[in-house]
Amino acid sequence: MSAAERMRREQNRTAWLFLLPLIVALVGVAIWPLARSIFFSFTDAFLDAPANYGFVGLDNFITVAEDPVFWRAVQNTLFFTVISVGLETLLGLAIALLLHRAFVGRGIVRAAILVPWAMPMVVSTRIWEWMLNDQFGLVNKLLVTLGLVEKGIAWTAEPSLILYTVIFIDVWVTTPFMVLLILAGLQLIPEEIYEAAEVSGVPHWKRFWSITLPLATPAIGVAMLFRTLDALRMFDLSYVLAANNENTMTMSIYARDQLISFQDLGLGSAASTWVFMIIGLIAIVIVGVLRLDRATG
Amino acid sequence: MAMTTAATAKRYSNSTYRTIRRVKTFGLYAGVAAVLVYMLFPYYWAIVSSTKSGQALYQFSLLPSLDFGNYWQLFHNPVFMGALINSGLVAFASTMISLVIGILAAYALGRLHFSPGRIILIAVLMISIFPQVVVLSGMFEVIGWLGLYNRPSALIVSYLILTLPFTTWILTSFIRDLPTELEEAALIDGCSRLRVLTHVLLPLMGPAIASTGLLSFILAWNEFLFALTFILTDENRTVPVAIGLLTGSSRYEYPFGQIMAASVTVTLPLLVLVLIFQRKIVAGLTSGAVKG
């Protein structure tokens, strides 16, 4: 055996040894539970006696697919994801462009905008719930004082408004994350390009359109991917604001409801497997579009 | 094209330039101020509201009224204080475990020439995008087998699905950026791999470990779904769930003053840490993503 060969084997053995805790932990908390969830989705098990089950084939999947409440949840989730990720990206890009410029106290401002992001989602929800309260909330008081409305709007109770309220809160919470990632992307663009463009008299909007935007696209794309996948599994915001109100119910809330509230392990597992498949499909499509496979290599 | 723009630009006098620059500077600071108000005002309003009770809570005053009754009640509420301790313990323990496992894995993935490494790294990334609800039923079983149901330690175990992929991914990208010479010298001198990791790399990784650990702590501290599902009784709850489930005896007695006090209390330690470590946090958040 050559020295190089021995070295390669040694590295392989060490690598497996160092990766063992990670593999054991991830099999225990992710891969095995995922496999069991998929397994249970083919059974009629209940949560109080999971060992007592029979196989029912695709029945659970069909029951979920025939439930209009599930499709309502899917629709809510998709609408929420598209609108809030879209708004966050635009707002994030605007704020990042602003904070990218030199001004006194830039470091402090960049730190300060982390505040909404560092808070627990539950806390942000509660704060906005209070500010948007129909009778005593600050927002309605402002609107009434300014004469924009006659009496307070029930932002968190009105069925036609509540999903927009959820989107509004989510945009507030996650815009800082977008700003940071886009800002990091902007900082990678060499200053010389702008100087050259300025010297040749390229107007501002055109510098933005043909230099900033294309060069920041990878950062924006990655940020959007993260946020989209996160938004698709959203649970806490809707749950705290409106529990299982059908107007804001997300796919995750629906699946957990079947599983925990109705104790139906089989049906709940099928619902969460549906969620997994839907999110997986969307992830594949986005990654394909972004060609992220090249970027991670 | 260049010539004409340069030529037209010359039309302005010096004072016009100064005015334009002033307007631009003013616009910049106005924009920054608007961003700050948008991002910070809600938290400020929570602080203001938390210092009011009774009628004062419903009056429109931008200044805090220094009535700390809500905090006094909160700190004498054993359920809330217990939740605070649970949250701290759970977040700290899952972060520590994730850091130890993550550092070991990051060394193997970032340094050793190891062909399955890429597949493992992609699997880790895929696990981090799992919708958490999909592991709920299986995790229920695992926690049952471990005998941890309704115990805070159930959360330490289940939070690994959030914190472990995250720490592994970020630390791997960090280790790849470190120079290799020192380690090679140590290896030639006959150091074992583990010794190289603990004595050569670890001291260099301090900042990365601090930022990754803090981000993972925030992730665990803020988690809601598992904490809501795997804990049944009030005394074992974590703080986000305690706040999420806090309601008044009727719709009209909604204790917003207390909820705001709790919200401020829960967020304050995070904010202090975030402001202290902000540079490192930003580096940690963006290193994995943007460098890609």
Q: For the segment A56-107, what is each residue's pLDDT rounded down to a tens digit? A: 989 999 999 999 999 999 999 999 999 999 999 999 999 999 999 888 888 8
* pLDDT for A68: 96
Q: How confident is the model at residue B83 (pLDDT cuts 50, 70, 90)?
A: very high
Interface A–B counts its CB contacts (< 8 A) at 291
| CB atoms near residue B76 (< 10 Å) | 9
| CB atoms near residue B195 (< 10 Å) | 12
Which of A149, A167, A157 is closest to A133 using CA atoms?
A: A157
Q: Is the pLDDT of residue A242 over 70?
A: yes
Q: Which residues of B touch A184 (CB under 8 A)?
A: 282, 286, 289-290
* pLDDT for A297: 42
Return the residue of A nearest to B39 by Cα: A113
* Predicted complex ipTM: 0.90
Question: Cβ B114–A11 below 8 Å, yes or no?
Answer: yes
pTM of the model as a whole: 0.90
> Would you state the structure tokens that stand for residue A105, as one six-digit string?
């106290």
Q: Which residues of B touch A283 (CB under 8 A)?
A: 129
Return the residue of B nearest to A95 by Cα: B35
Which of B98, B32, A246 is closest to B106 using CA atoms?
A: B98
Q: Which residues of B219-230 are buried (b: 16+ CB within 10 A; e: fewer)?
A: bbbbbbbbbbbb
| CB atoms near residue B210 (< 10 Å) | 17
Alpha-carbon gap: B14 to the closest alpha carbon of chain A (Å): 19
Question: Cβ A114–B274 below 8 Å, yes or no?
Answer: yes
Q: Is the pLDDT of residue B248 over 60?
A: no
CA dist B12 → B16, B17, B20, B22, B27 (Å): 6, 7, 10, 15, 20
Q: What is the DSSP letter of A55?
A: B
Measure CB to CB from residue B137 to each of A30, A219, A259 and give the nearest one: A259
Q: Is the pLDDT of residue B4 over 70?
A: no
Return the residue of A nearest to B131 by Cα: A233
What is the C-alpha radius of gyration for chain A, rounded to an integer number of angstroms? Answer: 24
Q: Does A126 touch chain B (CB under 8 A)?
A: yes
> Would you state the structure tokens that stand for residue A234, as one six-digit string?
């959203």
Which of A181, A214, A56, A98 is closest to B27 using CA atoms?
A: A98
> Would you state the structure tokens that stand for residue A235, as one six-digit string?
């649970």
Instruction: Give the C-alpha separation, B205 to B287, whole Å.
Output: 14
Residues in A 144-203 with any Cβ partner in B closer than 8 A: 172, 175-177, 180-181, 184-185, 188, 199-201, 203
Q: Mean pLDDT lowest for which of A51-55, A117-121, B31-35, B56-60?
A: B56-60
Q: How confident is the model at residue A237 (pLDDT cuts 50, 70, 90)?
A: very high
* pLDDT for B247: 67
Alpha-carbon gap: B205 to the closest alpha carbon of chain A (Å): 17
Measure CB to CB from residue A131 to each of B42, B134, B142 and give the nearest one: B42
Q: How confident is the model at residue A188 (pLDDT cuts 50, 70, 90)?
A: confident
* pLDDT for A19: 94
Question: Cβ A8–B123 below 8 Å, yes or no?
Answer: no
Alpha-carbon gap: B19 to the closest alpha carbon of chain A (Å): 18
Measure CB to CB from residue B35 to each of A11, A95, A128 and give the nearest one: A95
Q: Taking the mean position of all CA atoms in its chain, how far away is CA A40?
A: 27
The length of chain A, given as a count of residues: 297
Please count the helices (runs of H) and the strands (runs of E) in chain A: 16, 0
Q: Does A43 touch chain B (CB under 8 A)?
A: no
* pLDDT for B11: 64
Q: How confident is the model at residue B139 (pLDDT cuts 50, 70, 90)?
A: very high
Q: Which residues of A touch B97 (CB under 8 A)?
A: 25
Measure CB to CB from residue A11 to each of B113, B222, B260 and give the nearest one: B113
Which of A48, A75, A27, A87 is closest to B140 using CA atoms?
A: A48
Q: Which residues of A touch B193 (CB under 8 A)?
A: 14, 18
For residue A203, give every residue at least 6 positions away whose Cβ sits within 8 Å of its Cβ, in sequence order, or none: B5
Question: Cβ A120–B222 below 8 Å, yes or no?
Answer: yes
Q: Which residues of A touch B114 (CB under 8 A)?
A: 11-12, 15
Q: What is the 3-state secondary structure (H, E, C) of B209-236?
A: HHHHHHHHHHHHHHCCHHHHHHCCCHHH
Question: Cβ A177–B285 below 8 Å, yes or no?
Answer: yes
Q: Does A281 touch chain B (CB under 8 A)?
A: no
Instruction: Give the C-alpha separation, A185 to A181, whole Å.
Output: 6
* pLDDT for B84: 93
Residue A52 burial (C-beta neighbours within 10 Å; 0-12, 13-18, 19+): exposed
* pLDDT for B64: 80
Alpha-carbon gap: B9 to the closest alpha carbon of chain A (Å): 10
Average pLDDT in chain A: 89
Question: Cβ B241–A101 below 8 Å, yes or no?
Answer: no
A179 half-sphere exposure, CB direction, 13 A CA radius: 26
Q: Is the pLDDT of residue B285 over 80?
A: no
Let me know if domain A41-296 sits in CATH 3.10.450.50.
no
| DSSP line for A16-49 | HHHHHHHHHHHIIIIIHHHHHHHHHTTB--BTTB
Read off the pLDDT of each residue in B90-116 and give the average, rounded to a whole number. 93
For residue A136, give every residue at least 6 positions away whose Cβ sits within 8 Å of its Cβ, in sequence order, or none: B57, B58, B256
Instruction: Give the C-alpha separation, A37 to B240, whole Å.
Output: 26
CB distance B212 to B281 below 8 Å: no
* pLDDT for B278: 79
Question: Cβ A123–B266 below 8 Å, yes or no?
Answer: yes
CB distance A15 to B112 below 8 Å: yes
Q: Does A53 touch chain B (CB under 8 A)?
A: no
Read off the pLDDT of each residue in B77-105 and give the average, rounded to a whole number. 95
CA dist B271 → A205, A278, B194 (Å): 37, 35, 35
Measure CB to CB from residue B133 to each of A47, A199, A256 and give the nearest one: A256
Return the residue of A nearest to B56 by Cα: A136
Q: How confident is the model at residue B3 (pLDDT cuts 50, 70, 90)?
A: very low
Task: Name the packing angle between helices B256-276 and B206-222 (round to 10°).
Answer: 170
